Each structure stands twice: as structure tokens, then as C-alpha cells.
């Protein structure tokens, strides 16, 4: 069974970048996590019904680690809006876990596909509004360098 760290790196299929150029924030760790997030979401979107729950689980595992990294950074630099930012993370993970359960237990595949679609929209907003502020604060605090 892959670890959460390996899900973030080695088990992610490598292909053409899936992250829209306007969502690159110029911070390599964040950009890599975002790229992997989108690639795993793409894998869930293209998974056949019988593999959808497993694909969602892989995406959820990656997303937990991704969000935990951001939250650790925000805590370390005492980022002002960290509670709002982390609250969005919790809501996404809670909804995703429930939808994954519905897909696995009740075969509600349409709910899984709707989750993927809605998360894509939320993610674009979240990166441009929330993560961009976080990365700028990371730069200002000296925790990361601009690229």
C-alpha cells in the first residue's frame, strides 16, 4: 500500500501539466502539490465507475497531506487568515469523504463525478484567492524564495 508521501510523488502519473498556467504561484512545493492534486482529480474524473471510489481515495489521501503542509506553514508564520483557509480545507475533506463513501457503499457514481466537477471550480478560486495570499506571506516571512 503506498504511503501518503508516495501518493504525492511517485504514484502520480506523469503527463503534460494539468495545472492551468494562471494557477502556478511560483513556489515549487506548492506548485508541485497543486499539479499532483489536479492530476489525481483528472484520474478520478476518467476512472470507470468500478474504480471511482479507489481513485477518489487516492485523491483524498493526497489532499490530506497537501492541506496539512499548507496548514503547517500557515501556523509556523502565524498567518492571519489561517483559520478561514484551514476551514475550507476541512469542508472539502469532509464532503469528499462522504461522497467517496456514497460512491463505494451506495454506487452513487454521479455524486462522485459531481464532486470532481465542483472541486475543480472551487480549487481554481481557492488557489487564486487563498493560496496566493499564503505564498506571498511565505515569501515575505522568508520561509520560501520567489522563483
Per residue in 21-44, pLDDT (tens digit) is 999 999 999 999 999 999 999 999
Q: Residue 115 has which C-alpha cell?
A: 464532486
- Angle CA 36–42–43, to nearest 5: 90
**Domains parsed from the chain with CATH numbers:** 26-141 (1.20.120.50)
Taking CA atoms, 146 is separated from 30, 52, 55, 136, 143, in Å, by: 12, 37, 33, 9, 10
Per-residue pLDDT tens digits for 92-135: 999 999 999 999 999 999 999 999 999 999 999 999 999 999 99
- What's the pTM? 0.85
Amino acid at each position: 500500500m503506498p504511503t501518503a508521501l508516495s501518493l504525492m510523488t511517485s504514484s502520480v502519473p506523469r503527463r503534460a501539466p494539468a495545472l492551468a498556467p494562471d494557477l502556478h504561484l511560483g513556489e515549487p512545493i506548492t506548485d508541485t502539490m497543486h499539479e499532483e492534486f489536479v492530476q489525481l482529480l483528472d484520474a478520478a474524473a476518467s476512472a470507470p465507475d468500478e474504480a471511482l471510489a479507489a481513485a477518489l481515495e487516492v485523491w483524498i489521501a493526497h489532499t490530506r497531506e497537501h492541506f496539512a503542509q499548507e496548514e503547517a506553514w500557515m501556523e509556523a508564520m502565524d498567518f492571519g487568515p489561517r483559520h478561514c483557509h484551514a476551514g475550507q480545507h476541512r469542508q472539502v475533506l469532509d464532503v469528499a469523504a462522504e461522497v467517496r463513501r456514497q460512491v463505494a457503499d451506495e454506487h452513487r457514481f454521479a455524486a462522485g463525478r459531481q464532486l470532481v466537477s465542483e472541486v475543480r471550480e472551487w480549487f481554481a478560486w481557492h488557489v487564486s484567492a487563498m493560496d496566493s495570499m499564503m505564498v506571498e506571506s511565505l515569501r515575505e516571512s522568508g520561509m520560501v524564495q520567489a522563483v
